[in-house]
Chain A
Amino acid sequence: EDQVTQSPEALRLQEGESSSLNCSYTVSGLRGLFWYRQDPGKGPEFLFTLYSAGEEKEKERLKATLTKKESFLHITAPKPEDSATYLCAVQGSSNTGKLIFGQGTTLQVKP
């Protein structure tokens, strides 16, 4: 069964304090691993897609990496506006379009 586990559940950082969020997954034939940002009361906002081990994607202070069993979302020198819930999802080869989501990591960045 496809499964996604994210850690930690919650993370508090000081502004400028870099850290990483973890997404561990098991899936039958990975078609893609996706990172989303979700602000309170809003729908998830797409950040990255990763397709194969070793792949990396960057956007501003965020960098996503992928291995065969997990993905990391590295946040460099975060700012208060980076505060949000970050969701990881996978799509397996046995499913048509279905995304399996993790529980998310809620990040709070204090000024």
Chain B
Amino acid sequence: SAVISQKPSRDICQRGTSLTIQCQVDSQVTMMFWYRQQPGQSLTLIATANQGSEATYESGFVIDKFPISRPNLTFSTLTVSNMSPEDSSIYLCSLSSGGNEQFFGPGTRLTVL
């Protein structure tokens, strides 16, 4: 199965700043996704990262707040913009390699002060 890495693994940021999270896969994959896991909560899909086109966002998430790039079939970034303490979460990328199941990266733990 594909190896998924995320950078950074964790970060502490100040209110009002932005953080870009990278997701790298060691093989080409069709579909990549970004999820958020707030403290004590389960995972919620932010958006589907589409290669060569704009991301598809879920209800409650907007491009201005969470811009996503997918320049090729092995890499994607998620930016958390103008952060507030409510953005403190674990951010996870996942991929689907052809079947319906998804495989997740190790996550990025973000704390906003």
Q: Which of A34, A41, A42, A101 contacts B42 (CB 8 A)?
A: A101
B22: Cβ under 8 A from any A Cβ = no
Q: Which residue of B lies closest to A45 (CB)?
A: B104
Q: Are A103 and B102 in contact (CB under 8 A)?
A: no
| Contact across chains for B107 and A42 when beta carbons are under 8 A apart | yes
Q: Which residues of chain B have C-beta atoms less than 8 A from A21's C-beta? A: none
Q: On chain A, which size bracket covers the interface?
A: 20 to 34
Instruction: Determine whether the beta carbon of A34 is less than 8 Å from that of B101.
Output: yes
Count the B residues whose beta carbon is within 8 Å of the partner chain — how many? 23
In the complex formed, the residue of A with least CB distance to B47 is A98
Q: What is the distance, in angstroms, from B18's C-beta to the closest C-beta of chain A? A: 23
With A44-B43, A103-B41 known as contacts, the answer to whether A97 contacts B102 (CB < 8 A) is: yes
Question: Is B106 an interface residue when CB atoms closer than 8 A count as contact?
Answer: yes
Let me know if A97 and B105 touch, CB within 8 A: no
The 8 closest A-B pairs by CB, nearest first: A43-B104, A32-B100, A101-B42, A101-B43, A43-B107, A44-B104, A103-B42, A43-B106
Chain B interface (Cβ < 8 Å from any Cβ of A): 4, 31, 33, 41-45, 48, 56, 58, 92, 96, 99-107, 109
